[in-house]
Structure 1
Amino acid sequence: MTSPSTTGTTEAAVLAEITEALQSVLDELELTDEPITMDTRFVEDLDLESIDLVTLTGELRARYGDRVDFPAFFASLELSEIIGLTVGQLVRYVAGRLK
């Protein structure tokens, strides 16, 4: 069983990696620097469109390879869930897959 501090460290590391990948996508879009937190919403806060999420998925796949199945994760979500998806939800999914 994982202790809370280990989980927090893992989530913190994943948050840093996702933030780096997001920054790459955001730089391409020339968006303003938004602070990225666990509560940041991809669509509503960062104004990402579906093609941007595909680009992000590619960035993350390059980092995590087959260990994390991003297409399956997104396919499991309803449209309203994708629209409201937060960075924290993605971080928890990735951290859970890396255990």
Structure 2
Amino acid sequence: MLHAVLGDYGLDEAGITMDTRFHEDLDLESIDLVTLGGHLEARYGDAVNFAEYLAGLGLEQIITLTIGRLVEHVAACLRDSGEH
């Protein structure tokens, strides 16, 4: 999904870990997060509401959001909805 959002723009898969931050490490802007949310919705439907998740975070939490926190959120949503 990150490739879909960023295209070939400096995405080094070897350098992406659970601690990689969307803003500081990947230079994603808010519009990129909206695009990522669209990809998550297309993939998981209503089971994963990324916009709602972001709305529940403070500004500092959004700025420091990591791949790992997003993965944990998606996994929890899928677990709660019974989807895999």
State the TM bucket, normalised to the shorter chain: 0.7 to 0.9
Give the aligned length.
77
Alignment TM-score, normalising by the size of structure 2: 0.86
Whichever residue aligns with residue 73 of structure 2, its letter is Y
Q: Which has the higher contact order (CA 8 A, sep 6+)?
A: 1
Identity of aligned residues (%): 58
Q: Establish whether residue 59 from structure 1 lines up as the match of residue 2 from structure 2.
A: no
User: If you compute each CA radius of gyration, which structure gives the higher value, 1 or 2?
Assistant: 1
Give the root-mean-square deviation of aligned CA atoms.
Answer: 0.9
Helix, strand or coil for the counterpart of 2:61? helix
Alignment TM-score, normalising by the size of structure 1: 0.74
Q: Which runs of 5+ in 2 are unaligned?
A: 80-84
**Higher helix content, 1 or 2:** 1
TM-superposition CA deviations, 1:46-86 (whole Å, max 9, x none): 00000010001001110000011111100000011000000
- Divergent runs of 4+, >6 A: none
Q: Which runs of 5+ in 1 are unaligned?
A: 1-20
